[in-house]
Amino acid sequence: MKTIKQCPICKKIDFKEHINSIDYSVSKEEFTIIKCINCDFHFTNPRPADSELGKYYISDHYISHNNTSKNLFEKTYKFIRNIAIKGKYKLVTSYFKTGSILDIGCGTGEFLNTFKINNWITKGIEPSDIARKQAVENLGLDVDESTDLKNVKGEFDVITMWHVLEHVTELNETIEQLNRLTTKTGKVIIAVPNHKSYDSSFYKKYWAAYDLPIHLYHFSKETIKIIFENHGFSLIKTKGMKFDTFYVSILSEEHKSEKKNFIKATCVGLISNLYGLFTKRGYSSSIYVFEKLK
Ligand SMILES: [Zn+2]
């Protein structure tokens, strides 16, 4: 285990316990999320040592046996994923009609491929062997295995990280590298869960987007803005991920009662999206668009 002594955002050392929850996916071990008293940043502490983190991820072996869309839940998930990809494409192309894009944590590459077929210069990074092989072999994408951004050369008009930043071990170093890898007018687009959302406060320790211990950081609308500002970025747009709310609610219901409870989860999801729309607390997950400070 590794204990973080200084807040990754403000470097202060006074913390308070926020919540205890368990790893529902793999180990069933208990972990604690703490919050910094000074800046309200929430993070998993202590957390597994960097060398131990891999064993908390669902293994490639498991994924390979479950990658066929057999049931309605998985089919719906894939259907929605395609709608989500179109939405993300539209967001990116509202800034650049064409250009270069780096997708960190590109998975099997469906998002990146949308850009490749529209003549963008594309590059992906994906540590999972099975996902990366699918992206390379099925879609012909250029995908690196190493997640160490220091190895990446060049500059990109757009860098995307869809639900990835909460997993990186070196948070400040990663955002520093994002700055180095972005062109002067480039955009960095980040999607992360928001632990201040309604569904988070409803499900508490059962909230699926805590995803302990592999989610090392738990951002809010405020803390994500501060940490990017610390590295020379300014926030130019925030967009709620309304489908994610339902997905997270269904998984949270499963953690709570070992059933999917679609109807109840849908109600919680709807309420959470209304809170996202009409209050300042934000959606279950949000997309944040940053650009470099001039
Ligand atoms: Zn702090």
pTM of the shown model: 0.94
pLDDT at 65 over 60: no
Q: Is 198 exposed, middle or buried (0-12, 13-18, 19+ CB in 10 A)?
A: buried
Q: What's the rounded mean pLDDT across residues 183-189?
A: 98
Give the per-residue pLDDT at 71: 76
What pLDDT digit, counting tens, does each position of 90-116 carry?
A: 999 999 999 999 999 999 999 999 999
What pLDDT digit, counting tens, does each position of 151-184 carry?
A: 999 999 999 999 999 999 999 999 999 999 999 9
Separation of CA 135 and ligand 1 centre (Å)? 38
Give the per-residue pLDDT at 212: 97
Separation of CA 217 and ligand 1 centre (Å)? 12
Separation of CA 10 and ligand 1 centre (Å)? 4
Q: How far apart are CA 38 and CA 15, in angstroms?
A: 8
Separation of CA 54 and ligand 1 centre (Å)? 27
Closest by CA to 63, choosing from 23, 22, 108, 27, is: 108
Separation of CA 35 and ligand 1 centre (Å)? 8
Give the per-residue pLDDT at 80: 82
Closest by CA to 35, choosing from 65, 70, 10, is: 10
What pLDDT digit, counting tens, does each position of 205-256 carry?
A: 999 999 999 999 999 999 999 999 999 999 999 999 999 999 999 999 999 9
Under the banding of pLDDT at 50, 70 and 90, the label for residue 64 is very low
Q: On the CB side of 175, how many CA atoms lie within 13 Å of its CA? A: 23
Q: Residue 75: what residue type? A: K
Residues lying with their CB under 5 A of ligand 1, a single-atom ion: 7, 9-10, 12, 36, 38-39, 41
State the chain's mean pLDDT as an integer: 94
pLDDT at 62 over 70: no
Percent of the chain topping pLDDT 70: 96
For 168, phi then psi, to 5°, come to: -75, 140
What pLDDT digit, counting tens, does each position of 270-283 carry?
A: 999 999 999 999 99
Separation of CA 14 and ligand 1 centre (Å)? 8
Ramachandran area for residue 88 (φ above 0: left; ψ -120 to 50: alpha; else beta): alpha
Concatenate the DSSP letters of all residues of 41-110 into one string: -EEESSB--GGGGGGGSPPHHHHHTS-S--SHHHHHHHHHHHHHHHHHHHHHHTT-SS-EEEEET-TTSH
